[in-house]
Amino acid sequence: MLPESGGPYPLHAPEFEGHELEYVDDCIKTGWVSSVGSYVDRFERDLAAFCGVKRAVAVSNGTASLHISLLACGVKRDDEVLIPDLTFVATANAVTYLGAIPHLVDCESTSLGVDAAALDDYLKEIAALRPEGLINKITGRRISALVPMHTFGHPCDMEALSALCERCHLTLIEDAAEAIGSFYHGRHCGNFGKVAALSFNGNKTITTGGGGAVLTNDEELGALIKHLTTQAKVPHAFRFRHDHIGYNYRMPNLNAALGCAQLEQLERKLTLKRIVAARYERLFRKVAGFSFVKEPPYCKSNYWLNAILLDRSCAELRDDIITALNENGIGSRPVWDLMSSLPMFKDCPRMPCPVAEDISSRLINLPSSPKLANLPEPDGV
Ligand SMILES: *Cc1c(COP(=O)(O)O)cnc(C)c1O
């Protein structure tokens, strides 16, 4: 097993310290394990309340959440969708599930999220606002949406990105897969786009085993998403009638039971994660050659994964450092390879991405589980 999942200090380990067993046991004893059940309803309600949104729809995973978000927002075949070059592959994959084309954009060094100013300049150059929407003058295709991603839980500059989307008639969809418990100007991530996608995979801040959710403040859209993710079945006492092409993307009740118990512990996990981050910050202030990636100003990050940047002068040591850490049971990894470097996306339209290239060459993620806060702090840190 890789240290990332095992070892004494995994990158991010799930922690079950509340009512998980009790709630899962309840599902098994009552037989409500699958596609309907009270934990799904409760998880959706509790999640919406925590995030301060009108509606949360629980789904089978974060990737399904992105897919259905794009679909429900009207992204069509041959549209281009702006996504960061620096992201997890699911963001790009979800765009292609609709026959749309990822259009890769750069990030800024503060938030590691989409750089609104650079994107604005780029769009002025390559795109034109026409009655049918924003058109890429080079490819002739419509650019229909922007999907910023809150990297490692650090919120993107949503004010600037919202303004840009309004000016350019782009639909704003947040990939908030890593951002449960992250706030921008006091509002939870996921409140800024038309919809947002969350993930509850095993390595995320809270987990349902596998799972995700769509957040929205548009009740009608929320109802449509619930309908589409549950096979688009028309409610009826016994008939099986479906009025759209639907998806089996619902979250099983078993997973939602786990999620209800995890949500009860979210505040505590967030507090512990911020203690861990503060320790790293203090440590790396004293160590030459590295800088700690801090939350952007005016944000409160969940610090899902802590990250350090190697000084440019020693970037070539990145893989040696990661290998040494992993060999010593300290789970670490580089950031994802850029989307533009993957064979499936190498020919996608792309703006110059010098910042994403720079970050990806010298970033290292470090162990970030909440329980690390319980370790004694070493002397002098
Ligand atoms: C985890 C993650 C996803 C996908 O979530 P799954 O639940 O694993 O499908 C999507 N986008 C980003 C940025 C992620 O980190």
Mutate to test the pocket of ligand 1, among 97, 198, 199, 333 (most ligand atoms within 8 A of CB): 199
E strands present in the chain? 55-59, 80-84, 101-105, 127-130, 133-136, 142-146, 171-175, 183-184, 187-188, 195-199, 212-216, 290-292, 299-300, 306-310, 333-334, 363-366
Q: Could you tell me the two tokens for 327?
A: 């060999």
Q: Could you tell me the two tokens for 377?
A: 């702090």
Q: Is the CB of 149 under 6 A from ligand 1?
A: yes
Report the atom number in ligand 1 closest to the C-alpha of 91.
11
Quickly state the pLDDT bin for 25 (edges 50, 70, 90). Answer: very high
Q: Whose CA is nearest to atom 13 of ligand 1?
A: 88
Please indicate, yes or no, whether the overall pTM of this predicted structure exceeds 0.75: yes
pLDDT digits (tens, 9 = 90+) for 345-354: 999 999 999 9
Largest CA distance in the chain: 69
pLDDT digits (tens, 9 = 90+) for 74-97: 999 999 999 999 999 999 999 999
CA–centroid distance, residue 86 to ligand 1 (Å)? 13
Determine how many CB atoms are found less than 10 A away from the CB of residue 247: 17
CA–centroid distance, residue 111 to ligand 1 (Å)? 18
* Whether residue 377 has pLDDT greater than 80: no
CA–centroid distance, residue 213 to ligand 1 (Å)? 11
Q: Is the CB of 178 under 6 A from ligand 1?
A: yes
Mean pLDDT of 149-165: 98
Q: Is the CB of 180 under 6 A from ligand 1?
A: no
Report the atom number in ligand 1 closest to the C-alpha of 204.
1
107 secondary structure, DSSP code: B
Q: Whose CA is nearest to atom 6 of ligand 1?
A: 62
User: Bridge partners of 127?
Assistant: 136
Q: Which of 237, 247, 239, 241 is nearest to 214 (CA)?
A: 247
Mutate to test the pocket of ligand 1, among 12, 61, 63 (most ligand atoms within 8 A of CB): 63
* Whether residue 5 has pLDDT greater than 60: no
pLDDT digits (tens, 9 = 90+) for 164-176: 999 999 999 999 9
Instruction: State the Cα–Cα distance between residues 363 and 360, nearest whole angstrom.
Output: 6
Q: Whose CA is nearest to atom 7 of ligand 1?
A: 62
56 backbone dihedrals φ, ψ, rounded to 5°: -125, 135
Question: Residues in the chain, how many?
Answer: 381
